[in-house]
Chain A
């Protein structure tokens, strides 16, 4: 039972579930007060409305839990929205709520101006409507989350209903705008018209349900409405997230900069994906403009990661937008802990975005309090998906928000972190990684040629091969295809070998940076060892030409049994791999 609730709460497709199922889960949750008691934030919430809120209040505990809030909820009696607030002896005041949800409706509006009324009359009408609300707000000292007036279901004045004085929709819009200007700081408004539009006005309005039970919107609208209330409650309690930690490759631009260089990344007007990444960066930049702190967490060499910021003409985000820049090959959970520490925030204040399902799963597992958005699929959807989360809720732009991003401007260095090796081992094992060994074929030879030519980081030397060389029979060419439970990476490594006098010569060995930190190099080393054994070769040899990009190989080679032989200027190893090589948990398909 609790398993089912937990699965639902962490389901990224939570809002696709039918509302009847969510209602059932909410009922279940309420039967487990100990579960609710374990939520990181306990909160007393009062709900007051001029319409029926029974179904909303039934669903709220589940929606609040999803945002980490264990709520004790007071529901005011039907029709007593204003009176309960104005009367200090009421059940509402005795309940002593920490957050108050107020849900009025356009049916409460009393002073709709006549058609064609002059501007003064319209303003007078608005002031009359707001008078009662100013009184109401004064009677409450704690945060209020209030729904603005909802759009009416009918437009008897046609298009003029929303655009000209005399229309009810126009009156609703005018009040909502004025309310936003007039409301004191402790009132957070939720834009009801926008909420209804997102669902679709036809799906939002339910006139039959209103007649039957006095709930003006459809059951299907309940989860999204409840979620907006919960999100604003999070902001009102000061618990909204503050930091956006971003991956780079595949998230802010297309392609892996370590593999293809600054010129090779997709960012710019010439491709649809390139345009999507620019739009995504622009959206993130506007988040920063209103106080969200940005940090980078990328598995790349630092100079590769910074290069696009420094050199690519289409980058929207600049280095001085980034408050913390972590580019290294250490695990991302550890990096995120460091980022939190250096920025002086709790990890629960962080939203992490990454296109890799593996990195997303790892961070979710190691840091459950970090919100993780796994950006899969079409980059054209990235902005919408991030926006839909509304992870940095605020309805009031405060001076504080705007100043915050400036004060975090300093770009700091990351320190090396140490992850718990048991956690990494079990995580890698759970991914069920699998390798298929292939030889060069008509279909794959172009990919292999390109991989060898374009890879910069894991590459032994500068030697490249033509397709015909790879297809020829004289040497051994091994292509490594890699996949795991979450993703199929395709062909990610190539080893080109030749037997010379009882030694297996590795003419070159490349591996895509996409599969760094998967220990695939150790598995490949074992494969090479087996090939040498079958060919009766007693040793392995390779030429390692150090460059700016592949410097780290100098540390990796000894771990695979290679040592430098100065007289021949090569690296040599026994055929068999060292016994103490790291376990990759990879199986052979």
Chain B
């Protein structure tokens, strides 16, 4: 796993967040949590994960989806799924 993988995943996550929240000003870091983005609730979390699955061509388990509480954890999980 190289740093550039992490950066790429973070970049694509940012695009996905911007689409779903319809907000081009969103900036994500590995530390971003639901506290940083107003509309990020459990309902939107599902939409984000579904988009990730579609984009990265992976499938997450239900229990994993519920446990991903911040962007850093999402990126880690996606890296573990070897998306890049």
Where the two chains meet, the residues of A that have a C-beta atom closer than 8 Å to any C-beta of B are 20, 23-24, 27-28, 54-55, 208-209, 211-213, 219
B61 to chain A minimum Cβ distance, whole angstroms, is: 8
In the complex, A24 Cα to B54 Cα: how many Å? 16
B31 within 8 Å of A (CB atoms) = no
Return chain B residues, CB-CB under 8 Å to A212: 46, 62, 65-66
Return chain B residues, CB-CB under 8 Å to A55: 43
Q: List 27 A-B contacts (CB under 8 A).
A: A20-B19, A20-B20, A20-B47, A20-B50, A20-B51, A20-B54, A23-B20, A23-B47, A24-B19, A24-B20, A24-B22, A27-B22, A28-B22, A54-B43, A55-B43, A208-B62, A209-B46, A211-B62, A212-B46, A212-B62, A212-B65, A212-B66, A213-B42, A213-B43, A213-B46, A219-B47, A219-B50
In the complex, A27 Cα to B65 Cα: how many Å? 24
A293 to chain B minimum Cβ distance, whole angstroms, is: 43
A207 to chain B minimum Cβ distance, whole angstroms, is: 9
7 closest A-B pairs by beta carbon, nearest first, are A27-B22, A211-B62, A208-B62, A54-B43, A213-B46, A212-B62, A24-B22
Across the two chains, which residue of chain B brings its CB closest to A28?
B22
Across the two chains, which residue of chain A brings its CB closest to B22?
A27
Which residues from 37 to 63 on chain B have a C-beta closer than 8 Å to any C-beta of chain A?
Answer: 42-43, 46-47, 50-51, 54, 62
A51 to chain B minimum Cβ distance, whole angstroms, is: 13
B7 to chain A minimum Cβ distance, whole angstroms, is: 24
B25 to chain A minimum Cβ distance, whole angstroms, is: 15
In the complex, A462 Cα to B46 Cα: how many Å? 72
Interface size for B (C-beta < 8 A) is: 13
B55 to chain A minimum Cβ distance, whole angstroms, is: 10
In the complex, A213 Cα to B47 Cα: how many Å? 11
In the complex, A225 Cα to B19 Cα: how many Å? 23
A438 to chain B minimum Cβ distance, whole angstroms, is: 50
A78 to chain B minimum Cβ distance, whole angstroms, is: 12
Return chain A residues, CB-CB under 8 Å to B43: 54-55, 213
In the complex, A55 Cα to B50 Cα: how many Å? 13
Return chain B residues, CB-CB under 8 Å to A209: 46
In the complex, A347 Cα to B54 Cα: how many Å? 43
In the complex, A55 Cα to B45 Cα: how many Å? 12
In the complex, A219 Cα to B48 Cα: how many Å? 12
A369 to chain B minimum Cβ distance, whole angstroms, is: 30
Return chain A residues, CB-CB under 8 Å to B46: 209, 212-213
B13 to chain A minimum Cβ distance, whole angstroms, is: 15
Return chain B residues, CB-CB under 8 Å to A219: 47, 50
Return chain B residues, CB-CB under 8 Å to A24: 19-20, 22
Across the two chains, which residue of chain B brings its CB closest to A31?
B22
In the complex, A27 Cα to B23 Cα: how many Å? 11
A-B contact sample (15 more), CB < 8 A, given A20-B19, A219-B50: A20-B50, A20-B51, A23-B20, A23-B47, A24-B19, A24-B22, A27-B22, A28-B22, A54-B43, A209-B46, A212-B62, A212-B66, A213-B42, A213-B46, A219-B47
Return chain B residues, CB-CB under 8 Å to A208: 62
Return chain A residues, CB-CB under 8 Å to B66: 212
Interface centre among A28, A209, A211, A212 (most CB of B within 10 A): A212
Return chain A residues, CB-CB under 8 Å to B42: 213
Return chain B residues, CB-CB under 8 Å to A20: 19-20, 47, 50-51, 54
In the complex, A213 Cα to B65 Cα: how many Å? 11
In the complex, A213 Cα to B54 Cα: how many Å? 19
Return chain A residues, CB-CB under 8 Å to B62: 208, 211-212
